[in-house]
Structure 1
Amino acid sequence: MRLRLFSFCTALFFAACSTPPKPEPEPPPPPPPPVEEVKPQVRKDTLKYLRNRNLQPQPTRALNVRSRCTHRDAIGTQTRLNLLVKDADVKNFEARIQIKGQGACQFALKEFTQDAKLPQVLLRHKREKGCTVRMWEQGKDVTIAFNSCPQVCEGKAFDYLWPVVVDAKTGRCH
């Protein structure tokens, strides 16, 4: 009996001192599926309209425009603009856009600094750095767009403010 107890204790001792078997390493995860490059699908009926056209990128050149205009659109928005740009250098810029039922926005060159000339004329507000006015030529028109300038507008007028478009040859607003 003692011998059995001794054998049992010895076996128990050696079992406690032995290192357990190492677990088998887990297999690595499978590689992700290859990413297929998806080309945008262009409808064939769209291509047939573009086939015989000679489409070219808009040339980058210095902006030259003079405008002194007043315009009222169909919904009652009234625009007054006094603009002079020579060789992409803004010499004069005053705009007042009265939006019916919302208020007015007023822009003046003295409140802005010119940050860029090409490819677009860029004016940045002196106090409100997020407020910018961009001007660019597109075909026979010059577009004047206002970005992030609610502080120069009354009420919610800026929420309804659209770019002003000027005919580069005649200076008329539309």
Structure 2
Amino acid sequence: MTLRNAMPAMLAVFLCAACVEPFAPKGPPTYTGQLPAPYPSKTPEIAVRATPIAAHEIDISGICRRTEEDGFREDATVRVSHNAVETLTWKLWVSRRGWCHFDLSEFKQVQQTPHIELHAIDGSGCTLMVWQDPRRITLAHARCEKHCTPGIYDQAWPVLFDPKNGGCAQIR
């Protein structure tokens, strides 16, 4: 290819490059309550104000055992005194497809406020969290796939305790 033949292509590249704005990182995106352009919203824009859950001193001796109509089942026992986890065993089943299991002996408590946090001692990155809101005490998990039967982790929900009686909290 001669320079004469390449000139139109070089000119087109130069003109296109002149129209493109240079890349400049603008920092993390801020949430406006709207979905990104490819996901049109069917609901009016709602102002979202994320407020942290207030720190509570958590004291509970709870047992939650129940089976839902869809086959989801949980068996959780937890005892927390002044935000220190003393007992924790939790097994949940996702219908008949599999289960997850958590035991305090496999975790180390690393945080007491504003919520309780326990990290798996096996280095897997699994984290258990306990927090309280006005209606319930929640025991949840994050990045704990290794504690579950393969393929069911995304359907493994937290367990909710009633802070008044220690039983299963109502989901509604």
Fold-level similarity (TM above 0.5)? yes
SS of the equivalent of 2:77 reads: strand
Contact persistence 2:124–2:146 (CA under 8 A)? no
TM-score under structure 1 length normalisation: 0.66
Alignment match, 2:8? none
Contact persistence 1:102–1:155 (CA under 8 A)? no
Alignment match, 1:172? 167
Contact persistence 2:54–2:133 (CA under 8 A)? no
Match 2:139 to one of 133, 141, 144: 144
**How big is the alpha-carbon RMSD for the aligned residues of Structure 1 and Structure 2?**
2.9
Q: Which amino acid aligns with 1:126?
A: I
| 1:91 maps to 2:86 | yes
Q: Which amino acid aligns with 2:161?
A: V
Shift >3 Å, 4+ stretches? 44-47, 56-59
CA displacement, residues 6-49 of structure 1 (integer Å, 9 cap, x when unaligned):
xxxxxxxxxxxxxxxxxxxxxxxxxx9xxxxxxx69xx9979xx
SS of the equivalent of 1:91 reads: strand
CA displacement, residues 109-140 of structure 1 (integer Å, 9 cap, x when unaligned):
00000010000100100013410000100112
Structure 1 distance, partners of 2:153, 2:45, is 39
CA displacement, residues 33-83 of structure 1 (integer Å, 9 cap, x when unaligned):
xxxxxxx69xx9979xxxxxxxx9753222111112211122111100110
Match 2:105 to one of 107, 110, 119: 110
Match 2:154 to one of 153, 159, 172: 159
SS of the equivalent of 1:66 reads: strand
Alignment match, 1:119? 114
Q: Any stretches of 5+ residues in structure 2 without a counterpart?
A: 1-20, 22-31, 34-43
CA displacement, residues 129-157 of structure 1 (integer Å, 9 cap, x when unaligned):
41000010011200111101111111322
Structure 1 distance, partners of 2:54, 2:93, is 33
